[in-house]
Structure 1
Amino acid sequence: MKYCVSEIQYDENLKNNAAVKARDDVTRILSHMGMKRITLSDMKRDTPNHLRKLAEHVKIAARWKRAFGKLQEGDILYIQFPPVLHTVFYAQCVKSLQKRGVKVVLLIHDLEILRWKKKKNATLAEKLRFDIEEKTVLLAADGIIAHNEKMKVLLTELGIDSKKIVCLGIFDYLIPDFRKRNAKSRRRRKTGPVLIAGNLARHKAGYVYDLPSDVSFELFGTNFDGTVTGNITYRGSQPPEELPFLLEGSFGLVWDGDSTATCSGVYGEYLSFNNPHKTSLFLASEIPVIIWEKAALADFVRENHCGITVSSLEEIRKAVDSMTDEEYDGLCRGAEHIGRLLRCGTMTRAAADAILTRW
C-alpha cells in the first residue's frame, strides 16, 4: 500500500501563503494516484527554555510514531520534506519504519541546510540543527524527489547516494475550473505590466524597493511597505487559489534577493538550485516568465520556450522592446503548454512513479 503524509496548518497568517498551496497540491495529486492519507495537525510550541524545547521534540516524535503505527512491510510512504511538525528525532522515526520493511520517500519543498549553506554568520547551533533535522533524514530515506539537477548535485555533495534521487523538474500548480473561469481569456500583449508575486518583505525581496523606472510592474503579495510610484501598482495579498484569475500582464518575474542587478543574498542565491513556486503560478496561469539567467529553472524556461532569461532587471526594457509580437506569441504558447501540464499534476505524478524504480 502507498501512503502520503498530509499536515494541516491552522495559522490564519498562512491563508495567502504559497508554501501551503504547494503542499496541499502535492497531497491532492498523490491522493488522486490512489495513496491513502496520513493526516497530522500542527501544534503550538512553547519555547521558553531548552528543556521544554527538548520535551516538545520528544512529544512530536511520539506523534509521528503513532501516526505511522499501521504501516507494515511492503508499504511505501511519501513525506513532504521538511515536515511542518519537525523534530530532531525525525530520522529515528524514519529508521523505525524501515526496520518494519516500509520504504520512505521524501519530496523536498525547502532545505534550510542548502539555503543557509553560504551564510557566513550561521551559528554552530544552527548548523548542528540543520544537520540533525535535515541531513540525517535525507541520508536515511530510501528515495528523494529533488527540485532539479542542480539541487541533486548539492545533495550528493552532502554524501547522499545519487541513485536514490529523481528530479521533479518544476512544481505543479492546481487551478480548478481554470478553463471555465477563463472562457473569455484575452490575448496577452508584451506591452502589459510585469507581474511580481510572493513575500515582498525587504529581507527577502529587497529588489522590489528599487525597481527600474522604465518598466511597469504590478505587485501581489504580503509584507509590502514601499511607496507606490507611477510605474508600480500594488494589488494586495490574495489567496493562491484566486491569484491566477487576477493576473493580467505580459510576464511574471521570477527573482529574489536584495538587488536588481543580480539575484544576491541568501534568498537570491537560493534560486540557483531551488524551484520557486511563483514560476509555477505564472506558467499555470499561462503567463510567460522573466527569470534570472543563473536560476536553476532558467534551463527549463529556455528549453520549453515559455519565457526569457536576464542577468539584471535593467535588461527587461531592452529585451521586451527587441522582441517581435510573433516571438512573444510563441512564448505565450509555450506557457500555455506547460500550464496545462502543471494544472493536472503531471510533474508530481511522473516523479512519484519514477522514484519506485530506484530500489
Structure 2
Amino acid sequence: MKGRKVRYYLKDSFLHNQHEKNAGSKARNDVEAILISEGYKGLEIKVDNWYQMNFFKAQQHKYSATKSVFDQLGLGDELVIQFPIIHHTFLIAQLIKQAQKRGAKFYLLIHDIETLRHAAGSEVKLRHKLRNYFQEKKAMMSVDGIIVHNDIMKGVLANQGFPVDKMVSLEIFDYLIPNFQEKSLPQKEQAIIVAGNLNPTKSGYLYSLPENPAYNLYGVGYDESRALNNITYFGAFMPDDLPAALEGSFGLVWDGDSSETCQGTYGNYLRFNNSHKASLYLAAGFPLVVWKQSALSHFVLENGCGIAVESLHDLKETIDNLSDTDYQDLVDNAKRVGQEIRDGHYLKTALTHLK
C-alpha cells in the first residue's frame, strides 16, 4: 500500500507536430505547466498511432493504454484530466469507476464540450451522439469534480443533470508568456486585433466586415484573395511568439459567418464557452471586444477590461463614444487581469475549490 496520496495529471499529448502555428496545444501545455508548478506529477498515456487502426482495434488500444495509467492510482490519489481526452475511449467512465473503488479521485478540466458546441447547431449524426454520450456525458457524470469555463456553462450543465456542487468555474483561461515584455500602450485609434483560426468556415464574418474600424489579422487559414480594404494580414505565428507581434487597440472575440451577430455552430458556442483568444489578448495587455450575448461578456464587464457589442456594425460608434480616460481605464484593467492570466491565477484558484 502507498503511504500518502499523490496529485497527478494525465499527460495526454497530440500525435501531430507540436510546432504548428496555431493554438491547438497552447491551452493544454499551459495547464500542464501550471499543474506542475502546483506540485502535480504527470502520468503519461502512451499510445501508438491509432489513427492507422480500424475503429475496434483503436478503441481496444486506447482502453488498454488508459487502464495502465489508471491502474497506478491508489487510495487518496487525485488525477486531473484535460477534457476532452485526446486519446479517448468509449469505456472511460468504467475505468474511472474502477479506480474510484480503490479510493482514487478524478477531476476534469473542460476545454470543449461537443454537446454544447452543437446545442444550437445543425443535426448531429447518430455516431457523434453516441460518442458524446459515452465519452462526454458518462465521463463527466462519473468524476468527483469538474472545472468548467464559467457560471453560464455551469448553469447549462446543471440543467442537464450535472451536480452543481461538483462544478467550479474557471472564469477565464490562463495564458503563459515566456519572457514577457510589456509593450508600449495601445491607442484607441489603432486597428482591432483578430488572432486565431481565420478560415472562412469559422471566421466567415471577416469577409463581410463594415468599412470601419480597421482590422489587423494574425493566424492561419486566411483567404487573402477575399481581403477587404480595411484589413491588414500579418501572417501566422507560434503561440508563444504571438503576443509580442500583436498591434492594435482591442482584441476581438467573435465567431461565425456574420458581422451582425455571432451565429452558427461556432458563433452560438460563445454563449457558453471561454474563447482562448480572449486570454491571449488580455495577457498581451489589450482590452477586449466581445459579443454582448457571449458568456465572456459577464467577465469582461465585471472586470472593466473591455466592451461588449451586439454587432460589429456598432463597434466604430461604441469606440468613438469612449473618452480617452474611459479607454485608459480599460487598458489598465486589461493589464491587471493580464498579469493574473500570465501568472496562472485562474487555474490555481479553481484547483483550490475542487472537493
TM-score (norm. length: structure 2):
0.95
Q: Are 1:30 and 2:28 counterparts?
A: no
> Which deviations, in whole Å up to 9, do the C-alpha atoms of 1:132-152 show, x marking residues without a partner?
110000010110000001111
**Match in the other structure for 1:131:** 133
> Which deviations, in whole Å up to 9, do the C-alpha atoms of 1:142-169 show, x marking residues without a partner?
1000000111111112211111111000
How many angstroms does 1:42 deviate by? 5.8
**Unpaired runs of 5+ in structure 1?**
none
**Match in the other structure for 1:16:** 21
> Which deviations, in whole Å up to 9, do the C-alpha atoms of 1:230-283 show, x marking residues without a partner?
310111111110000001100000000111010000100000000000000000
Residues 172-187 of structure 1: pairs in structure 2 closer than 5 A? 172-178=174-180, 181-182=181-182, 185-187=183-185
How many angstroms does 1:338 deviate by? 0.1
- Aligned partner (choices 212, 215, 221) of residue 213 of structure 2: 215
CA distance in 1, matches of 2:302, 2:155: 20
- Alignment: residue pair count: 349
How many angstroms does 1:5 deviate by? 1.3
SS at structure 1 position matched to 2:127? helix
**Match in the other structure for 2:3:** none
Amino acid in structure 2 at the alignment position of 1:312: S
Give the percent of matched residue pairs that are identical in Structure 1 and Structure 2.
40
CA distance in 1, matches of 2:204, 2:238: 23
Amino acid in structure 1 at the alignment position of 2:300: V
**Match in the other structure for 2:190:** 192
CA distance in 1, matches of 2:253, 2:214: 15
RMSD (Å), alpha carbons: 1.4
SS at structure 2 position matched to 1:286? coil
Deviates more, 1:200-209 or 1:247-256: 200-209
CA distance in 1, matches of 2:271, 2:19: 26
CA distance in 2, matches of 1:109, 1:223: 22
Residues 105-184 of structure 1: pairs in structure 2 closer than 5 A? 105-178=107-180, 181-182=181-182
Contact 1:14 1:20 in 2 (8 A): no
- Aligned partner (choices 18, 27, 44) of residue 39 of structure 1: 44
Deviates more, 1:280-289 or 1:11-20: 11-20
**Match in the other structure for 2:235:** 236
How many angstroms does 1:47 deviate by? 6.5
How many angstroms does 1:36 deviate by? 0.7
Contact 2:77 2:104 in 1 (8 A): yes
**Match in the other structure for 1:96:** 98
> Which deviations, in whole Å up to 9, do the C-alpha atoms of 1:202-242 show, x marking residues without a partner?
11111111111121101111111143333101111111100
**Match in the other structure for 2:351:** 352
Contact 1:8 1:42 in 2 (8 A): no
SS at structure 2 position matched to 1:230? coil
CA distance in 2, matches of 1:120, 1:322: 38
Amino acid in structure 1 at the alignment position of 2:79: L
**Match in the other structure for 1:68:** 70
Structure 1 46/300 Cα, relative in aligned 2: closer, same or farther at 3 Å?
closer
TM-score (norm. length: structure 1):
0.94
Contact 1:201 1:224 in 2 (8 A): yes
Contact 2:192 2:251 in 1 (8 A): yes
- Aligned partner (choices 205, 211, 221) of residue 203 of structure 2: 205
How many angstroms does 1:113 deviate by? 1.4
Q: Are 1:333 and 2:314 counterparts?
A: no
**Unpaired runs of 5+ in structure 2?**
1-5
> Which deviations, in whole Å up to 9, do the C-alpha atoms of 1:13-40 show, x marking residues without a partner?
7622213100000011011000111123
Structure 1 65/42 Cα, relative in aligned 2: closer, same or farther at 3 Å?
closer
